[in-house]
Amino acid sequence: MRSARLLWIGGLSALFTGAACGGTTVETTSSSGSTSGGSTSVTSGSSSTTGSGGASSTSSASTTGAGGAGGSASTTSTTSTASTTTGVTTGAGGAGGGSSMPMPVGCVTEVGAGHHKLMCLGGIAYDLEIPAACAAGGCGLVLDMHGFTMNADQEDLGTQLRALGKQHGYVVVQPTAPGLPPSWDQAAHVPLVFAFISDVAQALVTDPSRAHVMGFSQGGGMTWRMVCSHADFFASAAPLGALAGCEFVGAKVPSREVPILQVHGRKDNVVNFGNTAIPQRNAVLAHWGNPPGMVLEDDGAHKVTRYLSPAGTPLEFWEHDYEAGSFLLGGHCFPGGVDVGQSPFQFGCTAQNTFVYGAKAVEFFIAHPKN
């Protein structure tokens, strides 16, 4: 009975060997309109935990099927009914710093405004949200990755990144891992997902100083691994309830310091706070020379501590006591997630939350472009 229940827990990375998805229908929805200004101000809490599959530094579930660890699959299927927008970028935001036209690159066969579903190597599906204001290039870019058993749509219920991207000028990429249930393998999938996000940046001429990465649970572990492997690409990162993914020792360190917003629930029943979040935070701080922390907020239900490296790079550690509706998950949830009440296995925190994770992440991204 216990093992059956664990099928639904988003952070268990080691329970299943996933089979790659295939034959996913690709849908495209065009949209119009412009981004609206304004920013969302919130406070957030974070905590981390370990549970089954949570203590190891890399996800141990392997993925079989097209494109596995070697990324050798050649099947790419994409169809679309939306017309392509080929506006000319004129500004400083463009990746090339001059005029260029968004053009399809690799699996990124749609560059027009709207919501697109694309398939690429390794059986990974990608939801790509291109705001109308970003179709001509020059916007920021956010990679947002789901947890175990989840998909891109469920991740968006937790983060609301598609709407936030439209509001603040970010192209949003939300991949769905292969397998039933969907499961990320850091070693196999980080290279494939990074190849796709790199193609998005090139195809949509995004601003190279505003590329960011975030994710929940297994997707949080993928986030840490992206920081370790591709610090030169990402300006900042925001892992939530994350598995470990970057050792910060020896050769396994980022090529540069990356601002981090680390959020984790102290009551997380899946990825244990004390066994995973604290060691991951401490590994970063040790690599930075163990700078002291400054408590910014503490209302008993959440606490925010900011650490600054000698170079001034921040790690903001948000720990909270919010919980999901399922006792199996406990604090393994999205503060401010909007799926509460929609499913017995919702991942949104049910209590009154001081902050909204997705809005807090975007606020952090806006404040920390790459210099």
- The CA-based angle 164-202-371, given to 5 degrees, is 70
Nearest CA among 242, 284, 247 for reference residue 264: 242
Percentage of the chain with pLDDT > 70?
Answer: 73
Averaged pLDDT for residues 283-311: 97
Strand order in the sheet with 114-119: 28-30, 114-119, 125-130, 170-176, 140-145, 211-216, 236-240, 260-265, 314-320, 302-308, 293-298
Each residue's pLDDT tens digit, 127-154: 999 999 999 999 999 999 999 999 999 9
The backbone region for 122, taken as left when phi is positive above 0, alpha when psi lies in -120 to 50, beta otherwise, is left
Name the band, by pLDDT with cuts 50, 70 and 90, for residue 340.
confident
Q: What is the pLDDT of residues 7-28, one digit of tens each?
A: 334 444 343 333 333 333 333 3
Q: Which residue has the tokens 């210099």?
A: 371
What's CA 30's distance to the chain center, in Å?
Answer: 24
Structure tokens at 320: 């909270």
Q: What is the pLDDT of residues 43-102, one digit of tens each?
A: 333 333 333 333 333 333 333 333 333 333 333 333 333 333 333 333 333 344 444 778
The structure tokens listed for 95 are 């990746």
The predicted pLDDT at position 235 comes to: 98
Sole residue written with tokens 């066994």: 275
The pTM for the full model equals: 0.77
Question: What's the mean pLDDT in 159-174?
Answer: 98
DSSP codes of every residue in 69-88: TT-----------SPPP-PP
Map out the domains of the chain with their CATH numbers: 15-367 (3.40.50.1820)
Residue 276 is given by DSSP the state I
Whether residue 239 contacts residue 284, with contact meaning beta carbons closer than 8 Å, is answered with no
| Cis peptide preceding 310, ω within 30 of 0 | no
The pLDDT of residue 353: 78
Beta strand spans in the chain (E)? 18-19, 28-30, 63-64, 114-119, 125-130, 140-145, 170-176, 211-216, 236-240, 260-265, 293-298, 302-308, 314-320
